[in-house]
Chain A
Amino acid sequence: AQSVTQPDIHITVSEGASLELRCNYSYGATPYLFWYVQSPGQGLQLLLKYFSGDTLVQGIKGFEAEFKRSQSSFNLRKPSVHWSDAAEYFCAVGAGSGYSTLTFGKGTMLLVSP
């Protein structure tokens, strides 16, 4: 069965500094990978997705992620963090059910310090 691991529960980054959130997946075939962001009390918003092709994908709000098959990773990056980026971030993998069901990681809470 597929699984997603986000090893960092919390990360604190200074405003203006770069950010990398880690995501490792376990899946037997070519994965479909997603990153979502959730602000407190809100639903999840899709940041970006990877299906195939270029392993570096660009998303909204200045985020990007790189798919590395050899490392089973799909890390999320941003060159310069803004205070408004403080939120919880979820990595997800397509579950292979044929019905677009997703398996989510447990999330990484991003705190931005001034």
Chain B
Amino acid sequence: SQTIHQWPATLVQPVGSPLSLECTVEGTSNPNLYWYRQAAGRGLQLLFYSVGIGQISSEVPQNLSASRPQDRQFILSSKKLLLSDSGFYLCAWSLGAGDNQPQHFGDGTRLSIL
């Protein structure tokens, strides 16, 4: 069966520091991968998605970037964190092709910026 792992579970970083959050999927090949940010009362905001190695689509302009160096690895990064980057970050995967594939989520990373 497929599993998705995110780490770290929690992270406290100072303003201006770099960021790297990692997400890996096991048990499937060539999944679609997604990064979301969740803020209280705002639901989930899609940040990036990827349909293959090196292929990244950005949904909103921001201080963050994403990379997919391997088929089942998705990384969320920042060179300099802002206070507004605080939030709960979720990674998800789905089978490729079509809009009828449900997404499956990791347990998230709680990021606090000081």
A, B from the same assembly:
yes
Spell out A's residues near B (CB within 8 Å): 9, 32, 34, 36, 41-46, 49, 51, 90, 94-102, 104-107
Size band of the interface chain B makes with A: 20 to 34
Give Cα A100–Cα B34 distance, bound, in whole angstroms: 10
- Judge whether B106 and A100 touch: CB under 8 Å: no
Q: Which of B11-19, B44-52, B69-77, B78-86 contacts A (4 or more CB under 8 A)?
A: B44-52
Minimum Cβ distance to chain B for residue A114 (Å)? 26
- Judge whether A100 and B105 touch: CB under 8 Å: no
Minimum Cβ distance to chain A for residue B47 (Å)? 11
- Judge whether A105 and B43 touch: CB under 8 Å: yes
**18 A-B Cβ contacts within 8 A?**
A9-B41, A32-B100, A42-B107, A43-B92, A43-B106, A49-B100, A90-B43, A90-B44, A99-B32, A99-B96, A99-B99, A100-B96, A100-B99, A100-B102, A101-B59, A102-B103, A106-B41, A106-B42
Minimum Cβ distance to chain A for residue B73 (Å)? 18
